[in-house]
Amino acid sequence: MAEAGISWVRIGEFAWSRLEPSAGVFTFDWLDRAIEVLSNAGLKIILGTPTCTPPRRMLEQFPDMLALDAQGQPRKFGARRHYCFSHAGYRAASGRIAEILGDRYGRDTRIHGWQIDNEYGCHDTVLSYSDAARDAFRDWLAARYVTVEALNAAWGNVFWSMEYGDFDEIDLPNLTVTQPNPSHELAFRRFSSDQVVRYHEVQVAALRVRTDRPLIHNYMGRVLDFDHFEVGAALDIASWDSYPIGFLSDRLEASAAHKIRYLQQGDPDMQGFHHDLYRAVGKEGRWWVMEQQPGPVNWAPFNPAPLPGMVRLWSWEAFAHGAEVVSYFRWRQAPFAQEQMHAGLRRPDDAPAPGLAEVTQVAREIAQMPDIALQQAEVALIFDYPSEWAWTTLPQGQGFSYFALMLDAYRALRAQGLSIDILPSTVRDLSGYRLVLAPGLATLPDGLEAALTGAVTLIGPRANAVTPEISIPLPMGPNLAGLDVTVTQVETLPPQIARTVKGGGALHHWVETLEGTAQTSYETDNGQAVVKHTGNLHYLAGWPDATLWARLVADLAKQAGVNTREMPEGVRLRATQTHVFAFNYNAEAVAFDGVTIPPAGVHWWPV
Amino acid sequence: MAEAGISWVRIGEFAWSRLEPSAGVFTFDWLDRAIEVLSNAGLKIILGTPTCTPPRRMLEQFPDMLALDAQGQPRKFGARRHYCFSHAGYRAASGRIAEILGDRYGRDTRIHGWQIDNEYGCHDTVLSYSDAARDAFRDWLAARYVTVEALNAAWGNVFWSMEYGDFDEIDLPNLTVTQPNPSHELAFRRFSSDQVVRYHEVQVAALRVRTDRPLIHNYMGRVLDFDHFEVGAALDIASWDSYPIGFLSDRLEASAAHKIRYLQQGDPDMQGFHHDLYRAVGKEGRWWVMEQQPGPVNWAPFNPAPLPGMVRLWSWEAFAHGAEVVSYFRWRQAPFAQEQMHAGLRRPDDAPAPGLAEVTQVAREIAQMPDIALQQAEVALIFDYPSEWAWTTLPQGQGFSYFALMLDAYRALRAQGLSIDILPSTVRDLSGYRLVLAPGLATLPDGLEAALTGAVTLIGPRANAVTPEISIPLPMGPNLAGLDVTVTQVETLPPQIARTVKGGGALHHWVETLEGTAQTSYETDNGQAVVKHTGNLHYLAGWPDATLWARLVADLAKQAGVNTREMPEGVRLRATQTHVFAFNYNAEAVAFDGVTIPPAGVHWWPV
Amino acid sequence: MAEAGISWVRIGEFAWSRLEPSAGVFTFDWLDRAIEVLSNAGLKIILGTPTCTPPRRMLEQFPDMLALDAQGQPRKFGARRHYCFSHAGYRAASGRIAEILGDRYGRDTRIHGWQIDNEYGCHDTVLSYSDAARDAFRDWLAARYVTVEALNAAWGNVFWSMEYGDFDEIDLPNLTVTQPNPSHELAFRRFSSDQVVRYHEVQVAALRVRTDRPLIHNYMGRVLDFDHFEVGAALDIASWDSYPIGFLSDRLEASAAHKIRYLQQGDPDMQGFHHDLYRAVGKEGRWWVMEQQPGPVNWAPFNPAPLPGMVRLWSWEAFAHGAEVVSYFRWRQAPFAQEQMHAGLRRPDDAPAPGLAEVTQVAREIAQMPDIALQQAEVALIFDYPSEWAWTTLPQGQGFSYFALMLDAYRALRAQGLSIDILPSTVRDLSGYRLVLAPGLATLPDGLEAALTGAVTLIGPRANAVTPEISIPLPMGPNLAGLDVTVTQVETLPPQIARTVKGGGALHHWVETLEGTAQTSYETDNGQAVVKHTGNLHYLAGWPDATLWARLVADLAKQAGVNTREMPEGVRLRATQTHVFAFNYNAEAVAFDGVTIPPAGVHWWPV
Ligand SMILES: [Zn+2]
Ligand SMILES: [Zn+2]
Ligand SMILES: [Zn+2]
């Protein structure tokens, strides 16, 4: 590995059955040998806690530890992530194995970091409808609302006679005859996120006192069922597992043409978005790519190979966004079990796989580069997990997705050549940002609006539209100080329909009717306000298509004194203190700024 | 409300948890106050029984009262309609709350009518696979067949050794390895409809002796799992909940182009069809619209706003079809719970919503109009719930739908400018009708054929094709006296395929082969008979497309001496004793008969 | 029947409730009478064991005999095939009824053959997730692996800590959080097939000692969940139920255009494929069509009538492929129960249905024909059920299907006018074959490669790609002696994408990267090897489209000295010792070889 320029290696994350072959009996010799060998080869080791794969025997001890799906079916042993976050016994057992590993390896200088569990939420594992979850939910509700009368009032349970007489009468919001009360469902989603945090913090507590090395978790792409900022708060480094081709295939809304165009490259904005998001999740911006796709994988609907050059491009893009480390998954393709068709940097027969040469090249190039020095972006985008839960709970139109709206906004900014910081909705210091976007932010938290005043700001659509309990606020939203705008009606539109906007572009999916004295800066062809603003504060009344997004971003950036440039399709920029990087996601060369960037190519200029 | 010309208001239909906050403890004071306030405001009150929303506590008393879905999953508390119609305990509890309300308010002169329960069958709640349903089904079977041998014979259980030795061996027809015996499934559907009637009549009995005011139920659009004529027989007034835009989106087979064209108007025939259907369901033709969509709703796949003018158009269309009352749902948008995004006539902040002005205009216009006086139509269409169950049980081709066939026939008649009476298959006096259509009528009941002789009649396709037990009759159908026609073969076709007919149009979906000496009046391009007739009696051997329907209706009407006129697309007529009304469902103005009807406009001429 | 030229009739196969109306009480009088009548009419009788339809009472005795689906739901009584193959009690009861029938009718000279059960696997009934299956699976595993450590090693259970401590810890591979270990799933599929064989052999044993008449089973089309070669090994004659129009509609991947083109004819290769497959399954090549579709059926998504001529065409095609008997299902359309809309040769009212005249014609024509004398084909295609299970377990790309790949290969051969023998992968004598194809053969069994050397051979794609336990072999496949080729990477492609090949055609779905010194005979436009060969042995690195298949087959046949001719679309040939038959599946006449074959027509030439 070291020859390939690889300096970090992760081990142990699925190894519980080997670490503790029978209850209380530990076999560390194989792990000790592995640590010795890898360390002698010059590699820095990340040790993973194996809690994502409890051994079969654990089910004898805790027969009720499995999650149940929304249909009430157990999610059985035989793969991974077969546990309910609310199961107290398994939570304690997870803390215990972390303690045992911490006791033995916490001060081992060859262990340079710790990964806790693996890919929380992968395979839709956050929401569980088990008895353990139900009981914990009742406790959580009692703690939050204190009295059941307060809960009834907060949820509006008088509607349809849904009032409860006692917390113990409250069930999980699955299998209801029709839609459950959105307040009920949102509470369950908040609870479920909290249960991940609670589960997680037991292991953090176990390790924190046993090691000084950084604690890390490897998040996934577009897993939104728990609040990553809250999990990340207890960690030192955020990392994520980046599978550009798999994700384009299995978790992105996109036209068939887009999916074909980027089949062997991945979506041009999906990686950058997550890089910027996880930079915000990491403490002081520290983040890694823990697993970088190095070739065809096994789990997407279709699994083509990356175009030659893409492994290098993805790696460089991560570094340009500030990754400290890019690690590849996996080193050698395993010839058996579920991931036997998941490429590694080496083939099952240990010969080099195509990705390895690119990785080696990146390592060489990086070595010749001064360290990447990040700079604060001029543009900020606010990302908020509870907004995702709110709109999943109450989409109002088929397929309304907060994430998709955010990715659209991010894509629009990048299509104008901008670098972006993603920020949590808990941010209160926005100094230095010239332009801030907060689309779809369900509820503006106290203090955020005050912090926004320095920059040109775009709020909406669907922003500050509900209370934290998901009801309509009175007076009705967005209730922005200094901007006389009220959303009086909402419409959702099928995909084939759009409301065209004077001057070009259109609203689709989601359209609001505005009332108020603020100035109208965009309107539809039939005279409906699309953007209203007063001074720097703009409210957007719908979901723009790409053309309208481009106009909006260009206009707002101009007002904010931020330079933009329209990028060729599939080409993206990223500016650091010292360089500007360009990434060509196309399968064809693109002429840009006096150079020709090859297909799947990277180019950088010193500033 | 009264200022808006609204004179009726419905209350109480979901209020059980407030009426009886704990078992046997009633709080009427809030309701008394509401009645006082509304009555003082000049409003006539409909009081609803709250049985559609049993309170949470009811589940302690009757843990087995929930319906189970076909997969055996409980349909849980947390929304509404969470009860199985077959649960005897809950049925009695429903009667008891009706008695208590009747005792207190039955003679209260401010209560002008009673709504029993709410939207039977909404959210697919008629078919339940609970133990209560299974036990009641066995009793129902024993009462119907007397001996299990008779049942075995009637169902043809010798086929595949499905014979039963005892009624207690008979299970519900879900989860079978492949299709269950259609006789078994049809029996279950008949039973399930009967259980709705039985459940319903307990409340009718409770109220009938306690009040002289009319009893009403509010039916839904395209809910077909119970026989509305049988529920309606015990009531004084039929009403329905008309959501034209929601229904176009969520429950109509239509091309994408059709759904786009009428996105903000609703299908031009769906409302008229239900108006005419529920006029037949109501005693002596008395019917209302209990809930008229006044703006965007929350529950359809997409929820756009009605075009300006549509709320007025829908209201006038209802009146022209004979509605005594059109009520709007809801008065004020509730800012919480499931329907927080369901528009009202007033916004959540109590400001007027766009629909309110149109409602006020209709009230003004109505006040200037002499009362609508209906007249018997020249054309009748026979609608039969058991036929829907029969063809759902045995579709023979993917997506065969009795309702869709009926709506197609209705649409074809209206496209020729006709007004229509819909009649149940129990009708025996058809005097006054010149043209009668009975497509898809699974079994012609005794006596109906005799009643048909006065008019030009079109029977078929798939009419009198099975026995009441859903087997093929011998001799084979349609077995019409005076018409020598036998259906010897049936074919179902995928959507892309049709059999073209000489002179224009085609058969799609369903094609029969006919034999017999009756005269052939239409035939396919390759010589297959499409219509055969003798005198006034015509048999139709397939499902016509719109072109063929237009030809058929024009020819039959001519034979019947009924005047037709080809209507512009999206424009519909309705004739009363005093006026002819025209409704323009298009988003563009249409010139018609010397006037220009604006988009979403209504025009009327005195006769 | 005899007048129609029909000489065989099958009875009894669903009649258990009449044979044994209560436990241990048998009524044979009706069966005796039926045998008498049919025999007197000159018909030879096949008697079926009724085990596909256990009577309701059996469930009292064995409440746990039902199969469970993958969701854990029982597959209930009320149709047919409601039993789990692993239930020991029901297996014994099935043997017992076979014994009783054998005792009574085994030596009855009027009974000319026996059908055991009916359509094993129909309605997805092979895989069951019942307790009986789980317990039997554990026993099967213990027998196969002896120690659980051996199982853990064979499956690679160290991956994700899936190791077991005891066979009793192993559950069935359903409801896992994500994909189960493919070794686990493949073992379950092998086991499930073995359970069919085990169930089947109990009845074989019961009858074998009681009769000298041939034992038969009627297989279905594209039922692949059990190994037909293994079931067939204990039988004398293979038969199958051929529903060309239903199968095209419900179980074939094909473009919409293809499905429309052959809507009333069926796919031109589906019948031939199964004829050739079941000829290989039958002992010494003896096979029948037990049920031939004679008109519209009831169970497909759409059920049109066969074009005039098709019943004759299908019959002749079966005879040309060597069928001893073609029987039609059903004789008379039953007017009740599930199949009341399934056409027969006679209508429900006993009048002749359209198919009858064609059947009579075939009988007349056959009588004038010398017996069909088969000859060994020049071309062999190897078909292997475990390969189907392997690739269903690990498709790697959405919709990868071994069967579809095989049918594509078969279609390509037939499109060049070839007659084909299908052979099991257990074949070791390939003498006489000039060209052998083995695409998709998961694991080459020992000895097969040696047997291949005589012929021009095409292996791949995805051949010899895994071990029998479904892991990647080391060295990596295909590991062919005398052919230096290694598959180093695999890609799966979405349907819209293909890799074009120099000279015409393309690879789609599946593309492999090859390494090795063998000669490249085809390559993609960007230089990737598509076929590599040394001498007679060719390896194919992907899934060809029709154009590439045509080139490949023509080239390989030329190398093998086999004559080909490009057939008109929809026309197929079949050569016997004495004749060449041509079948025109088109709805239009086709000129071929100096004759005009009418739509749905058959032509034959003496050799
Ligand atoms: Zn991973
Ligand atoms: Zn309603
Ligand atoms: Zn069959």
Shortest CA gap C55–chain B (Å): 6
- Angle C131-145/C182-208 helices, nearest 10 degrees? 100
pLDDT at A6: 85
CA of A414 to the centre of ligand 2 (A): 45
CA-wise closest residue to B579 among B317, B287, B238 = B317
- Angle C148-155/C182-208 helices, nearest 10 degrees? 120
Model confidence at C147, in pLDDT bands (50, 70, 90)? very high
pLDDT in tens, C258-299: 999 999 999 999 999 999 999 999 999 999 999 999 999 999
Averaged pLDDT, groups of 10, chain A, 607 residues long? 83 96 96 97 97 97 98 98 98 98 98 98 98 98 98 98 98 98 98 98 98 98 98 98 97 96 98 98 98 97 98 98 96 97 97 97 92 93 98 96 98 98 97 98 95 94 98 97 96 96 98 98 97 97 98 98 98 97 98 97 96
Is A394 touching B (CB cutoff 8 A)? yes
Instruction: Find the mean pLDDT for residues C400-419.
Output: 98
Task: Report the DSSP beta bridge partners of residue A582.
Answer: A573, A603
Sheet (strand C602-606) strand order: C571-575, C579-584, C602-606
CA of A119 to the centre of ligand 1 (A): 7
Instruction: Report the CATH superfamily, name and number, of domain C379-560.
Output: Class I glutamine amidotransferase (GATase) domain (3.40.50.880)
| Subunit contact C164:A56, Cβ cutoff 8 A | yes
Is A164 touching B (CB cutoff 8 A)? yes
Is B333 touching A (CB cutoff 8 A)? yes
- C445 Cβ contact list (under 8 Å, min separation 6): C425, C426
CA-wise closest residue to B281 among B385, B156, B367, B133 = B385
Residues by chain with Cβ below 5 Å of ion ligand 2: B 241
Cα A427–chain centre separation: 17
The dotted CATH code for B2-68+79-126+196-367 is 3.20.20.80
C119 tagged catalytic: yes
Partner-chain residue, chosen from C177, C474, C488, that has the shortest CB–CB distance to A75? C177
The one-letter amino acid at B330 = R
Q: How far apart are CA C205 and CA C197, in angstroms?
A: 12
Whole-angstrom CA distances from B194 to A447, B137, B329, B588, C232 are 60, 10, 29, 46, 51
Dig out the tokens for A119 from the structure. 């890919």
Let me know if domain A1-117+124-212 sits in CATH 3.40.309.10: no
Nearest CA in chain A to B249: A494
Whole-number average pLDDT of chain B: 97
Counting ligands in written order, the one closest to the CA of A293 is: 1
ipTM confidence: 0.97
Whole-number average pLDDT of chain C: 97
- For residues A402 and A438, the answer to whether their CB atoms sit within 8 Å is no
Is C596 touching A (CB cutoff 8 A)? no
**B577: number of Cβ within 10 Å:** 12
Burial of A589 (C-beta count, 10 Å sphere; 0-12/13-18/19+): middle
DSSP structural state of residue A284: G
Q: How far apart are CA B77 and CA A172, in angstroms?
A: 10
Q: How far apart are CA A250 and CA A261, in angstroms?
A: 15
pLDDT at C453: 83
Model confidence at B454, in pLDDT bands (50, 70, 90)? confident
DSSP code per residue over A242-263: E-HHHHHHHS----HHHHHHTT
| Subunit contact C494:A341, Cβ cutoff 8 A | no
Partner-chain residue, chosen from A71, A471, A492, that has the shortest CB–CB distance to B340? A471
pLDDT at B410: 98
Strands B519-523 and B529-534: antiparallel
pLDDT at A453: 83
Q: How far apart are CA B36 and CA B24, in angstroms?
A: 24
Instruction: Find the mean pLDDT for residues C4-17.
Output: 92
Nearest CA in chain C to B179: C79
Q: Chain A neighbours among C 59-78 (CB < 8 Å)?
A: 71-72
Q: Is C508 helix (H, G, I), strand (E, B) or coil?
A: strand
Residues of B in contact with A169 (CB under 8 A): 56-57
- For residues C193 and C387, the answer to whether their CB atoms sit within 8 Å is no
Place of tokens 């074919």: B491
pLDDT in tens, C452-487: 888 999 999 999 999 999 999 999 999 999 999 999
Domain ranges in chain A? 1-117+124-212, 379-560, 571-606
pLDDT at C462: 98
pLDDT at B5: 79
Q: How far apart are CA A425 and CA A440, in angstroms?
A: 12
| Subunit contact A334:C159, Cβ cutoff 8 A | yes
CA of C245 to the centre of ligand 3 (A): 14
Is C30 touching B (CB cutoff 8 A)? no
Instruction: Find the mean pLDDT for residues B476-496.
Output: 97
pLDDT for residue C1 is more than 80: no
A201 tagged catalytic: no
Model confidence at C432, in pLDDT bands (50, 70, 90)? very high
Residues of A in contact with C469 (CB under 8 A): 336
Q: Give the gyration radius of chain B's Cα atoms.
A: 25
Model confidence at C542, in pLDDT bands (50, 70, 90)? very high
Catalytic residues of B: 119, 291
Whole-angstrom CA distances from B121 to B138, B185, B200, B219, B224 are 22, 18, 12, 8, 8
Higher pLDDT, residue C445 or A371: C445
pLDDT at A369: 86
Place of tokens 């029978």: A22
Nearest CA in chain A to B17: A161
Instruction: Using alpha carbons only, give the angle C216, C220, C225 rounded to the nearest 5 degrees.
Output: 105
Nearest CA in chain A to C167: A56
| Subunit contact B348:A160, Cβ cutoff 8 A | no
CA of A243 to the centre of ligand 1 (A): 9
pLDDT at B370: 79
Terminal alpha carbon distance of chain A: 33
- A118 Cβ contact list (under 8 Å, min separation 6): A13, A14, A48, A52, A80, A218
| Subunit contact C489:A123, Cβ cutoff 8 A | no
Model confidence at B369, in pLDDT bands (50, 70, 90)? confident
pLDDT for residue C223 is more than 80: yes
CA of B241 to the centre of ligand 2 (A): 6
CA of A117 to the centre of ligand 1 (A): 11
Residues of B in contact with A470 (CB under 8 A): 340
Dig out the tokens for B285 from the structure. 């033709």
Dig out the tokens for A504 from the structure. 């070009």
Residues of A in contact with B256 (CB under 8 A): 496
The dotted CATH code for C2-125+213-367 is 3.20.20.80
CA-wise closest residue to C224 among C140, C85, C124, C82 = C124
